[in-house]
Amino acid sequence: MTTQFIFSIILLLVNFIIGLIVLTRKKKDIISKLFLLIIFSIILWTASNLILDFIRDQYFVLFAAKGAYVGAVLIAYSFLYFVLVFPKEEYQISKKIKIFILSCASIFILLSITNLLVKGVEIFSWGINIIPGLFYPFFMFYFVGFMAVALLILIRKLYTEKGVERLQVLYLFIGVILATIGGSLTNLIIPYFTEDFSISTYGPLFTIFFVGFTAFAILKHNLFNIKVIATELLVFAIWVAILFELLLEETLKERLFMAGLFVFTIIAGILLIRSVLREVEQKEQLEKLSKELKVINEKLVETDKMKSAMYSFVSHQIKAPISIIKGFAQLILDNSYGEINDKVRETVKLMKTSSDRLIGLTSDFLDLRRIEEGRMEYEFKEINIVDLVKNVFEELKLLASQKKLEFTLECAEEKIIVKADEQRLRQVILNLIENSVKYTPSGFVKVGLTTNDKRLTAKGVLFTVNDSGIGIRPEVLPELFDQFKRAKEARNIQGTGLGLYVAKEIVKAHNGEIWAESDGENKGSRFYVKLLIG
């Protein structure tokens, strides 16, 4: 068994493996499918030449000669088609061009299996002589023409493509040039000057440069993970070494053993490569999902910024004119523009009440924006929370009396000092008491303040609001202090769903706790705020 035969077998195996690697990476890619067709054509051409070199049976030699020309026809066709679409699958080829090159290839494939291209073969001691048929000159024109056009397109793309695509074309071009130089040296130049044609049998070996560089070019924009490359190279080296050893063995027993070992290493190698590929693909999927998540998060952040900007704009644009309306309403009520009758006074009171409510709503929106942006400012100082609660209680007495509610305040102490932002803490207390009054159609609202309660685990003060109102359903309680969350039964009462959220954030900034309790719908509710003393 000659060295040339061994190298030819290894070449066939190498080309086949490279084709499978590319196809497994990009199964649905037309470029990888065309590349596989090129490899199939090269394998057919190489195998046919191998038969011509080592078999002397007239029938098989003629069959192999025709097979070699079928392979050559397919090489020219697939290479031109490949160059037309490479490196971007998006490149569109007109239907006319597709039909033309396919028709040419089909005609010469049909001619190859007749005597019109290869008329016959002559077997000599030095080798095989092919007798050309009537259409052989046309085949030469087809082959040289297709290959020349493909090379011109490739050269043009070297100048027109940019970035990674240009690099891909360059790799393909290098592979073509190396294969052409190697083939020319072994099949034309060296035999011509030395008159030794035996070296021409090594010409097909140079196709490995074309196949290797083209495979690398196809996968250049998504190169293998280094782990996959190392695994494939290791497995491939083991396969080649065992195959080489198998072909060199002399006894049947040794060949059977090496053949079994070769089959085992092929199966084990494929399983190993698939395992590594699966790991790499999972990693790539995670990276892809991570990038998609990052884009989504960026969009959410941008949307959130737009929302905050909108809140700020709308709130400021509403708050200013409403404050002016409220001011004028107060002036009218104070008789600054003269005496008014009772009907007008009631109307202006409603106007002022509505203005107060709108100002409160816009304030909630502004506070929401400040909280989200981390710009909520606090001015902490020591204050008497008893006075603060009493002032708010007195302020809401009129509203409670209008609804004929039992409105009471229970506080045994005259002075409880806490460190707080007075305006912000007042906002929390006002919101809780006002909510209880609003959501209690009849019955009572009881406000309490104490430093003596079992719920106080440290030195602190507990503010409570207990009412007999519409209550809170158990499923609503966990999300009661979230943004825009309102109980279904409370939707008939005006509000934004932001008051309790803002109150929670303010209490949190005071290192306190706020929570709510209720026995259920129409069973009243209890709100608590726990703060540290001093």
* Alpha carbon distance 11, 6 (integer Å): 9
Q: Which of 169, 202, 223 is the last residue of a domain?
A: 223
Final residue of a domain: which of 172, 196, 223?
A: 223
**Contact between 198 and 182 (Cβ < 8 Å):** no
Which has the closest alpha carbon to 200: 270, 281, 120, 128? Answer: 128
Nearest to 409 by CA among 391, 423, 421: 391
* Residues 79 and 44 grouped into a single domain: yes
Burial track 89-108 (b if 16+ CB lie within 10 A, e otherwise): eeeeeeeeeeeebeebbeeb
Residues 333 and 396 in one domain: no
CATH number at residue 199: 1.20.1070.10
Tokens of 153: 């397109």
DSSP string, 205-230: GGHHHHHHHHHHHHTGGGPPPHHHHH
Which of the listed residues 320, 343, 372 is the one where a domain comes to its end? 372
Residue 395 sits in the same domain as residue 525: yes
Alpha-carbon separation of residue 236 from 65, 215, 265 (angstroms): 31, 15, 10
Q: Is residue 489 part of a domain?
A: yes
CA–CA distance, 363 with 427 (Å, rounded to integer): 10
- In this structure, are residues 533 and 460 in contact, taking their beta carbons and an 8 Å threshold? yes
Give the predicted TM-score (pTM) of the model. Answer: 0.46
pLDDT in tens, the chain (534 residues): 556 666 667 777 777 777 666 666 655 677 778 888 888 888 888 887 777 776 777 777 788 888 888 888 898 898 899 888 887 765 667 888 888 989 999 998 898 888 888 777 776 666 666 777 888 888 888 888 888 898 899 889 888 887 777 878 888 888 888 877 776 676 556 655 665 555 656 666 777 777 777 777 766 545 445 566 667 667 777 776 777 677 667 777 777 888 888 788 888 877 887 787 777 778 778 888 888 888 888 888 887 777 667 766 666 666 677 777 877 777 887 778 778 887 887 887 778 777 776 766 677 667 767 777 677 888 899 999 999 999 999 988 888 998 999 999 999 889 999 999 998 899 899 989 999 998 999 999 999 999 888 888 778 999 999 999 998 888 888 888 887 655 555 544 555 567 888 889 899 999 999 999 998 888 899 999 999 886
Question: What CA–CA distance (Å, rounded) separates 96 from 413?
Answer: 98
**Tokens matching residue 244:** 């080489």
Residue 249 lies in a domain: no
* Spatial separation of the C-alpha atoms in residues 413 and 3, rounded to whole Å: 107
Whether 470 and 520 share a structural domain: yes
**What CATH number is associated with residue 509?**
3.30.565.10
Q: Based on the fold, state whether residues 426 and 335 are members of the same structural domain.
A: no
- Structure confidence by residue, pLDDT tens digits, 6-26: 666 777 777 777 766 666 665
| Token code pair at residue 84 | 């037309």
Q: Is 343 in the same domain as 199?
A: no
User: Cα–Cα distances in Å, from 458 out to 385, 415, 454, 463?
Assistant: 17, 18, 10, 15
Question: Does any domain span residue 35?
Answer: yes
Q: What are the backbone dihedrals phi and psi of residue 120, each rounded to the nearest 5 degrees, phi first?
A: 180, 180
Say what the pLDDT of residue 268 is: 85
Instruction: Note whether 161 and 307 are same-domain residues.
Output: no
- In tens, the pLDDT along 293-310 reads 888 888 888 877 776 677
234 in any annotated domain: no
Query: How many CB atoms are closer than 10 A to CB 29?
Result: 15
Contact 525, 503 (CB under 8 A): no
Question: Within this chain, do residues 178 and 39 fall inside the same structural domain, yes or no?
Answer: yes
- Helices and strands, number each (H, E), in the chain: 14, 9
Q: What is the CATH number of the domain that holds 355?
A: 1.10.287
Are residue 29 and residue 139 in the same domain, yes or no? yes
Q: Rounded to an integer, what distance in angstroms lies between the CA atom of residue 296 and that of residue 75?
A: 47
Determine how many CB atoms are found less than 10 A away from the CB of residue 526. Answer: 17
Burial class (CB in 10 A: 0-12, 13-18, 19+), 6: middle
Phi, psi of 72, rounded to the nearest 5 degrees: -65, -40
448 domain-assigned: yes
Strands 525-532 and 513-517: antiparallel
What lies within 8 Å, CB to CB, of 239 at 6+ separation is 13, 17, 262, 265, 266, 269
Q: Cβ of 191: how many Cβ atoms within 10 Å?
A: 16
Domain range enclosing 202: 3-223
Same domain, 507 and 461: yes
CA gap 114, 107 in Å, rounded: 11
Amino acid at position 204, single letter? P
CB 311 within 8 A of CB 373: no
329 with 398, same domain: the answer is no
Count of domains for the chain = 3
Residues 17 and 115 in one domain: yes
Q: Say if 439 falls within a structural domain.
A: yes
Q: Rounded to an integer, what distance in angstroms lies between the CA atom of residue 427 and that of residue 437? A: 15
Radius of gyration of the chain (CA): 44
Is 42 inside a domain boundary?
yes
Q: Cα separation of 445 and 425, whole Å? A: 20
Q: Is residue 228 part of a domain?
A: no
